[in-house]
Amino acid sequence: MNPEQEIQSLREQLSKHALAYYVLDTPTVPDAEYDRLFQRLEALELKHAELKTIDSPTQRVGGGLLGAFSKVKHAVPMLSIRTETDTESSGAKNFDVRIRKTLELSETDTPIEYVAELKFDGLAMSLHYEDGILTQAATRGDGETGEDVTQNVRTIHQIPLRLIAKPAITLFDDTVPSRVEVRGEVYMRRDDFETLNERQRIKIAAGQKGEKIFVNPRNAAAGAVRQLDSKIAADRQLSFFAYAVAQGLPNEVTTHAQTLEQLHAWGFPVSTDARVCTGADELVQFHQDMAAKRDALPFDIDGVVYKVNSLVSQARLGFVSREPRWAVAHKYPAQEQMTTVLAIDVQVGRTGKLTPVAKLAPVFVGGVTVTNATLHNEDEARRKDVRVGDTVIVRRAGDVIPEVVNVVLDKRMQDAQIFTIPTHCPVCGSVAIREEGETDTRCTGGLICGAQRKQAIEHFAHKRAVYIDGLGEKLVEQMVDAGIIKSLPDIYRLGLANIVALDRMAEKSAQNVLAAIEKSKQTTLPRLLFGLGIRHVGESTAKAFAKHFGNIDAIMDASEERLQQVPDVGPVVAQSLRSFFDVPYNREVVEQLRACALTWDEGEGTPTVPQILANKTFVLTGTLPTLGRGEAKEMIEAAGGKVTGAVSKKTDYVVAGAEAGSKLDKARELGVLVLDETQLKELLGG
């Protein structure tokens, strides 16, 4: 091929691959191959500048700086859509009633057909095509006049630089009208927004001037489109959805649904959530469906839009106050609102984490009245620089905990004080520390801290710890709230009357709990050590400590240096355990447990289960009917067996459950004995 032919071929290939990747979401070539073709085209256009055209894929990368945006007079005004004031699902019925009344339809007449779409939270855009080539892009502006942002819009890969000449429906011809104006929304995906803000944080940390964290995807997208440097727009990773044709719609298109089909056929991305709805009830269902789906979408929406499907009916309905009668925006409750920080409290979580929480002047956001918003941790509070008295923007999406998005600095009081995390726990007064490399500050009180009491008791009673069958989260919560358990030893001081007095606790159930508590009095040193809930001390570490020191007193008295002599124990674990037992209350808990007749094997923590699987190696694969994999592993190890991750000639048994994979095939290949859950229990003597 000569250069002109090769350039044309490369453009066609790149346009085809871009459509598949950005619009159809079905990539046809690896990124490396696309890059290779693109670089070849760039090189050819650089060498043959006379062959470069405005619809070339290379024109998406951004050009030089603009002095200012020129004004664009819209041939067809970009009108706003009326907003339904009722944010509940009943708002859809209100719209249907108005449409039927205007069209003079009775309740017995055929239901009206609508198209329901998402209301994207972005920037409205008008795209002009001459002979199929993008020649101009303009913002809405005041509806009559917008700004020419063509250079920036060219960088958006989802917007075709040249329309595809193929029919949307078989009755259409395959020609592109000489003049086409497409309307749609420029937006930014949430993941692209997070990536952008992460880059901004890095720049700010590096001391770059003039950089900022963006409040939300819409602001970031709008700011990118209105940048005088199109390279910034290209760097922002903007996206686009088309939803209307203002000029150039083929005569064969008679409905809005067909309009969306035509847009897709020309190469535009069209939301797959758009739905043809018949009657008010289906509009209500769409509103509810999208509300449930809203938080899972990869982009922000602030509502849905209903449009009469028939273009003839649209023309008949016309406009009122420069708004179309045939369409309405049905919003959801706002997810962001402005309010004032009244105070900043510090809450202590179940694991000892200290979380700063902004106490707010009540504000209705995301469908509920919000009075608190999390600041997550000290770093986040410092980064956002939230202070008492500040005016802030609060966001709540779905069931997500409300959070402060940013501070309105223009409204800050001069004497506002910088927030600092306390050095002591506000609940128990213990020292609060932030370990190196961590973002959270934690209370070191452990068992003495009232905020951590429920978590501590639940952990102690867990099946992998001391294990008290039936003493789960709900029962522990009742007992702590009722004041009958204030510490771990209190578990062994419970009587029948205490438990029966709790809600939904019959005498038989209470007796079962007491029996489980009595049974738990015989445990092992590793289980006890793990059950105390010492930070960084897991099951395997507890076993290692028990094996190395032999008894609890030696562990409690060991220095950090001696603790680090245990295999795989480093300074962080050693310091955590040492700090735990440096608190007199925690040592007292161990002594009180002894006084309550709790016993554990010292030595190497030898379990009471007979070692019937000593020197036997097991591999677990698949899902067992009743046992979790961790539980099965624990039972095998308690009986002296060893559980490994790979099948080999040294494997004695493979325990296989549902959907067992290659490990089962390997076992059969090597002739290893395969057991199911029932056979495993029989082997264990159960």
Contact, 458 vs 474, CB < 8 A? no
Q: Which among 257, 273, 307, 282 is positioned nearest to 114, based on CA atoms?
A: 307
- SS3 percent helix, strand, coil of the chain, rounded to 5, is 40, 20, 40
Q: Phi and psi of 407, rounded to 5°? A: -100, 140
Largest Cα–Cα separation, the chain: 95
Pair of tokens at residue 266: 């020309």
Question: Which one-letter amino acid corresponds to residue 222?
Answer: A
Question: Which one-letter amino acid corresponds to residue 451?
Answer: A
DSSP state of 431: B
Beta bridge partners of 407: 392
CB atoms inside a 10 Å sphere around CB 269: 21
The half-sphere exposure of 268 on its side-chain side, counting CA atoms within 13 A, is: 28
Tokens 């910088």 belong to residue: 418
Q: Residues, the chain, total? A: 686
3-state secondary structure of 430: coil
CA-to-CA distance for 571 and 220, rounded, in angstroms?
44
Pair of tokens at residue 111: 């239901």
Is residue 411 flagged as an active site residue? no
Give Cα separations from 603 to 299, 365, 417, 443, 524 (angstroms).
Answer: 59, 59, 56, 32, 10
Q: Which among 240, 142, 252 is positioned nearest to 182, based on CA atoms?
A: 240
CA-to-CA distance for 470 and 597, rounded, in angstroms?
20
Q: Which residues contact 415 (CB under 8 A, 6 or more apart)?
A: none
Catalytic residue among 119, 307, 384, 543: 119
CA-to-CA distance for 215 and 408, rounded, in angstroms?
11
DSSP state of 410: G
H or E element that contains 557: helix 552-557
Q: Which among 76, 66, 71 is positioned nearest to 139, based on CA atoms?
A: 71
Exposed e or buried b for every residue in 530-568, given b needs 16+ CB within 10 A? Answer: bbbbbbebebebbbbbbbbbeebeebbebeeeebeebee
Q: Which among 19, 23, 16 is positioned nearest to 242, based on CA atoms?
A: 23
CA-to-CA distance for 291 and 295, rounded, in angstroms?
8
Beta bridge partners of 138: 126, 148
CA-to-CA distance for 615 and 441, rounded, in angstroms?
44
Tokens 């600095």 belong to residue: 409
Residues with a known catalytic role: 119
